[in-house]
Homo-oligomer: A and B are copies of this chain.
Amino acid sequence: MPKSFELPDVSGAVLGVLGGTGDLGRGLAARFAAAGQQVLLGSRDRERAVAAVDTLPLGDKEKVRGLDNIECARSADVVLVAVPWEGHAALLEECREALDGKVVIDCVNPLGFDERGAFALPVPEGSACLQAQQLLPGSRVVGAFHHVSAVVLLDPEVQSLELDVMVVGDDREATDTVQALASRLPGVRGIYAGRLRSSGQVEALTANLISVNRRHRAHAGIRVTGL
């Protein structure tokens, strides 16, 4: 990508992962620790967060600390939200004050499942990201990491992820920060892909990738071509 798109140095940023005991949260925590980032892994229950750190299949565990969600939100510089959709609104309301002024990365996919597979759930606010921005008016919400497979993240055999992370948001400094963070993972490019109003389809596309996975027994991701 051209020189004008140089991204900030985020190697010193402390990354918090809310809902860090789930597969996606653990996978992202492990990958960022492996990339040299300081990571705080948050859970409703501090004990469970501490225990989850020991289960990380890769990354330097010294780089990861388990905390309860609110302490995690308070102590991190940039905060990833990786809870199931069902717990999304309640968690954000609970952490509102602790997240004030921070870059909040929402990677939650509002999906339902039936015998035909996954499908996008309607969200009154338009998307998980838009719900987050509405619940956290003092935070800078950015959508990212929707299409990364937890299975791939947690597989220590996978050295390079070989996919792009679509980054959506309304605040340029915040999207630059998240692009830079994503790009720290081997084989990943963080690519700006529009404003929050265009976050719904990025989240919903995960249903399509799950259809690909079902047909091909794969863990599909996305690359943006032509850059």
**Chain A residues within CB distance 8 Å of chain B:** 1-2, 5, 116-120, 149, 152, 162-163, 166, 168, 191-195, 197-198, 200-202, 204-205, 207-212, 215-216, 218-227
Pairs A–B under 8 Å by Cβ, sample size 24: A1-B216, A2-B216, A119-B197, A120-B200, A120-B201, A162-B226, A163-B226, A168-B208, A191-B212, A193-B209, A193-B211, A194-B208, A194-B211, A198-B211, A200-B204, A201-B208, A202-B205, A204-B204, A209-B224, A218-B227, A220-B225, A220-B226, A221-B224, A222-B222
Closest CB of chain B to A221's CB: distance in Å?
A: 4
State the CA gap A212–B197 with chains docked (Å). Answer: 15
B contact residues around A216 at 8 Å (CB):
1-2, 5, 227
A162 nearest in chain B by CB position: B225
Cβ 8 A contact of A218, one of B152, B221, B226: B226
CB pair A117 B222 closer than 8 Å = no
B contact residues around A120 at 8 Å (CB):
198, 200-201
State the CA gap A1–B215 with chains docked (Å). Answer: 11
Closest 10 pairs (CB-CB, A-B)? A194-B211, A201-B204, A223-B223, A201-B201, A221-B225, A193-B208, A220-B226, A194-B208, A218-B226, A201-B205
B contact residues around A202 at 8 Å (CB):
201, 205, 208
Given contacts A195-B117, A198-B119, A201-B201, contact A219 B226 (CB under 8 A): yes
